[in-house]
Amino acid sequence: MNTIILQIASRYTLPLLLLFSVFILLRGHYLPGGGFVGGLVASIALVLHAFANGIKKTRELVKIHPGFLMPVGLSTSLLSGLFPMILGKPFLTGMWYPHSVPVIGSLGTALFFDIGVYLVVVGATLTIIFSIIEAP
């Protein structure tokens, strides 16, 4: 699938799609979207890039091994759940920063939880697909 059109297109669509996936992630609390969909969109963007340019290029672009994202995401979600416990509230209690933050809106533990989900989904999906592409 080494078509020039796809290669050129993916060069421009990748950042756009990644940005879009973050957008979906952030708006998830108010409108359709969220960590799962955001993560899947991001993975599709990278898979598309890998199809167009070859897996090696994508690996170079991503730099870190996608599997690494899974523990990071898991701990982010877990910590966001543990945080309220420090303040003596039950595990996974939703807590919010009282003031509105530009771009993101309200800032709360649920957001960090969703970011964790996003990272795990990206990590797991890419691990699966990259391993398959590279497998003999």
Partner 1 sequence: MEILIAICIGLLYAAGIFLILRRSLVRLILGLILLGNGANLLIFLLGRITKGKPPIIPDSAQTIADVYADPIPQALILTAIVISFGLQAFAIILVKRAYREVNTDDLDQMNTHEQ
Partner 2 sequence: MLLAVLLPFLLAIFLVIPFRKYESLVARTVWIVPAGIFSFFLQTYLSGNTGITGKASLSQIIPYSLQWNLDGLSLLFVLMISGIGTLIFIYAAAYMKGHPYRIRLMGFLSLFMGAMLGLVLSDHVMNLFLFWELTSISSFFLIGFNNEEKASRQSALKALIVTGGGGLILFGGLMLLGQIASTYSINEMIALRGNIVADPFYPVIMVLIILGAATKSAQFPFHFWLPGAMKAPTPVSAYLHSATMVKAGVYLLARFTPVIGGTELWQYTLIALGGITMLYAAFHALLRTDLKGILAYSTISALGMMVFLIGIGTEASLLAVGMFILVHALYKAALFLITGIIDHETGSRDITKLRGLRKVMWPVALAGVLAAISNAGIPPSLGFMGKDLIYESTLHHIFQPIWLTSAVVITNIMLLIAGFNAGWRPFSGNLPSAFSKVHLPEKSMWVPPLLLAVLGLGFGIIPSVIESPLMQDIVMSLHGVSWAGHLALWHGFNTVLLLSGITIVTGIALYFALPQSSKIAAKITGLTALSPENIWTKIALGFNFLAIKITAVLQNGFLRLYILIILAFVGSLLAYKLANQIYFTIDYSYLSPVTVYEAIIVGILIVSILFTVFSTSRLVAVASMGVVGMAICMIFVFYSAPDLAMTQFTIDTLTVVLFVLVLYRLPKFIKLTFAIRHIRDAVVSIGFGTLIALLAMEVLDNQPDRTVSKFYGDNSYVLAKGKNIVNVIIVDFRGADTLVEIIVLSIAAIGVFSLLKLRIRQSQKIE
The region of 7-15, 56-64, 91-99 touching partner 2 under the rule CB under 8 A is: 91-99
For the CA atoms of 14, 17, 18, 20, the dihedral, rounded to the nearest 10 degrees, stands at: 160
Q: How far is the CB of 136 from partner 2 (least distance, A)?
A: 9
Burial 10-46 (b: 16+ CB within 10 A, else e): beebbeebbeebeebbbebeeeebbbbbbbbbbbebb
The region of 5-13, 23-31, 56-64 touching partner 2 under the rule CB under 8 A is: 23-31
Q: How far apart are the two ends of the chain, measured CA to CA in Å?
A: 18
Give the residue with the Cβ less far from partner 1, 4 or 31.
31
CA distance 78 to 115: 11
Site for partner 1 in 91-130 (CB under 8 A): 121, 124-125, 128
Binding status of residue 46 toward partner 2 by CB under 8 A: no
- Tell which one of 11, 60, 68, 131 touches partner 2 (CB under 8 A): 131
Binding status of residue 31 toward partner 1 by CB under 8 A: yes
